[in-house]
């Protein structure tokens, strides 16, 4: 039997000019404009020379196009064409082809990447003033690094660095991002700073300056320095980093590597000084009412970095658990996990606060499942710019998730935010139902000139009459995009408490 038609290898293309695949980008980029993203890019990102003629022309709309593409799920330069699919070019102005954006990224230098980092911090402050993304900031900051594998030998900066896979330390070729997150109890963590480094860079390289910048950003958002707790693993327990935290007026809590001095301090703690610790969600025995856990904590005064200019005295908090490989009840064998801190909380609470630092892993997961899936260019500076733009997009999506007013999106994974609020919106309700009237020429109305081409997110057709009048009492069935559209029309007054 022979088929009557020949098969051809083709791919699906979204080419319907009257449909929009990511209508949720309208309120998302409107939020970015109200937070001043375009203005910040105009003020801070400047190109004075170009390697390719016109390669760095119009940097603001090009950077905004990349942010829009990342919010729509792009994880490579080619994927940025998603913002040109279907009717997207009718909805937004200043949309660029992916090849143009790739040429633009290759114009970046280290100085331009630092300019983008300044935009990242200032935009986070502006988003915190307009949305509840950092409401109730206490504040907790966490610094961490990882190794992202790359496979092209021509990639600048790619080198072999240490990483762990299935608990085993190996050498792997890659690039090493360093990031500082800020978290609260009511929303998922956001990025206060990110920096791309060579794969062989030590984990703590450049960490002191990043911690200082993150603390200053948290203070500008509304946190008090003495309430900021900076956490990290043992790779960041160095004199220079701790000195930077103390100088900024914050407290620290870093895991510390075992050495003879630390072991001697642990041995000086008597057994009766250890107390049980009850972690959130702990399970108790229904018969005895005791915790089904053998974790115990204690503390001892400890002086780190003795006989150096970074000498400092704090508390060595030690958590111990029974060794799972030794079950002899008469001669228990304990495993000790120390960390060094100047936190003044009770020892059990200090241990709980320190162990919450793993929240940073959720940020890594979100970014690796999104824009950080690839380091798309052979140029190191272009990849560094891509990394910072991914952080800007992450913070923007987090702010949008909290602006919907639902717990689901305030704590949702990045993939959920990219697949729901950024994709689904009511195109006929892009202006806030109860928000103020947009000024002439603003992002919520017609452009000031019919021939102008504003950046993405600042131009869309005039909306027909709202489906939800201002006095509509029932908003329970609104889509996430409608909730976001409504929220961005009500700016918060002043920084969060």
Tell me which DSSP letter residue 284 carries: B
Residue 428 neighbours by CB under 8 Å, 6+ apart: 463, 464, 466, 467
pLDDT 10s digits, 372-415: 998 899 999 999 999 999 999 999 999 998 888 887 888 888 88
Residue 12 neighbours by CB under 8 Å, 6+ apart: none
Confidence of residue 440 (pLDDT cuts 50, 70, 90): very low
| In the predicted structure, residue 311 carries a pLDDT above the cut 90 | yes
Average pLDDT, the chain: 80
Q: Are 341 and 354 in contact (CB under 8 A)?
A: yes
pLDDT 10s digits, 337-378: 999 999 988 999 899 888 876 777 888 889 999 899 988 999
| In the predicted structure, residue 47 carries a pLDDT above the cut 60 | yes
* Distance, CA of 161 to CA of 145 (rounded, Å): 12
| In the predicted structure, residue 332 carries a pLDDT above the cut 90 | no
Per-residue pLDDT at 458: 45
Q: Which of the given ranges, 168-172, 288-292, 389-393, has the highest pLDDT on average?
A: 389-393
Helix (H, G, I), strand (E, B) or coil at 174: strand
Per-residue pLDDT at 207: 93
Confidence of residue 6 (pLDDT cuts 50, 70, 90): low
* Termini Cα distance of the chain: 74
Mean pLDDT, residues 55-61: 92
Percent of the chain surpassing pLDDT 90: 42
pLDDT 10s digits, 70-124: 999 899 999 999 888 888 877 887 789 999 999 999 999 999 999 999 999 999 9
Per-residue pLDDT at 67: 94
Question: What element of type H or E holds 38?
Answer: helix 37-44
Q: Are 86 and 16 in contact (CB under 8 A)?
A: yes
Residue 420 neighbours by CB under 8 Å, 6+ apart: 24, 409, 412, 480
pLDDT 10s digits, 138-149: 567 778 888 888
| Structural domains of the chain, with CATH | 25-107+404-487 (no CATH), 117-366 (3.90.350.10)
Mean pLDDT, residues 236-253: 94
Where residue 11 falls (left for φ over 0; alpha for ψ -120 to 50; beta otherwise) is beta
Task: Count each helix (H run) and each strand (E run) in the chain, helices first.
Answer: 15, 11
| In the predicted structure, residue 461 carries a pLDDT above the cut 50 | no
Confidence of residue 479 (pLDDT cuts 50, 70, 90): low
Confidence of residue 254 (pLDDT cuts 50, 70, 90): very high
Confidence of residue 10 (pLDDT cuts 50, 70, 90): low
């Amino acid at each position: 039997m022979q088929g009557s038609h020949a098969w051809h290898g083709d791919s699906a293309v979204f080419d319907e000019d009257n449909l929009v695949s990511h209508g949720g980008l309208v309120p998302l980029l409107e939020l970015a404009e109200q937070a001043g993203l375009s203005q910040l890019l105009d003020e801070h990102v400047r190109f004075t020379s170009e390697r390719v003629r016109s390669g760095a022309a119009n940097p603001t709309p090009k950077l905004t196009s990349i942010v829009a593409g990342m919010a729509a799920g792009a994880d490579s330069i080619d994927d940025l064409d998603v913002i040109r699919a279907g009717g997207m070019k009718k909805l937004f102005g200043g949309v660029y082809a992916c090849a143009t954006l790739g040429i633009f990224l290759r114009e970046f230098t280290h100085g331009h990447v630092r300019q983008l980092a300044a935009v990242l911090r200032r935009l986070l402050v502006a988003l915190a003033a307009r949305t509840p993304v950092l409401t109730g900031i206490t504040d907790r900051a966490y610094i961490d690094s990882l190794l992202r594998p790359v496979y092209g030998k021509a990639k600048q900066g790619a080198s072999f660095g240490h990483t762990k896979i299935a608990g085993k330390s190996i050498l792997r070729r890659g690039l090493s991002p360093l990031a500082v997150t800020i978290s609260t109890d009511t929303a998922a963590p956001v990025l206060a700073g990110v920096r791309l480094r060579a794969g062989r860079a030590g984990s703590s390289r450049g960490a002191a300056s990043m911690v200082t910048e993150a603390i200053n950003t948290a203070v500008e958002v509304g946190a008090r320095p003495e309430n900021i707790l900076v956490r990290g693993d043992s790779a960041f327990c160095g004199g220079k980093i701790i000195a930077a935290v103390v100088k900024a007026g914050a407290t620290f809590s870093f895991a510390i590597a075992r050495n003879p001095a630390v072991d001697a301090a642990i041995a000086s703690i008597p057994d009766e000084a250890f107390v049980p610790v009850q972690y959130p969600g702990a399970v108790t025995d229904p018969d005895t009412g005791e915790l089904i856990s053998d974790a115990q904590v204690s503390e001892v005064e400890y002086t780190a970095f003795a006989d150096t200019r970074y000498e400092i005295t704090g508390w060595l908090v030690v958590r111990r658990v029974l060794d799972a490989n030794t079950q002899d009840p008469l001669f228990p064998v304990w495993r000790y996990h120390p960390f060094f801190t100047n936190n003044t909380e009770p020892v059990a609470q200090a241990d709980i606060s320190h162990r919450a630092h793993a929240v940073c892993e959720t940020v890594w997961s979100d970014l690796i499942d999104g824009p950080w899936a690839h380091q798309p260019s052979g140029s190191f500076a272009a990849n560094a710019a891509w990394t910072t733009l991914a952080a800007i997009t992450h913070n923007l999506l987090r702010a949008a998730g909290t602006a919907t007013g639902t717990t689901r999106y305030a704590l949702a994974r990045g993939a959920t935010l990219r697949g729901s609020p950024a994709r689904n919106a009511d195109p006929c309700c892009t202006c806030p139902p109860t928000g103020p009237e947009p000024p002439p020429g603003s992002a919520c109305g017609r452009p000031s000139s019919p021939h102008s081409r504003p950046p993405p997110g600042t131009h869309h057709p005039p909306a027909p009459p709202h489906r939800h009048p201002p006095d509509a009492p029932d908003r329970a069935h609104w889509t996430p995009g409608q909730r976001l559209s409504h929220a961005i029309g009500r700016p918060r007054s002043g920084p969060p408490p």
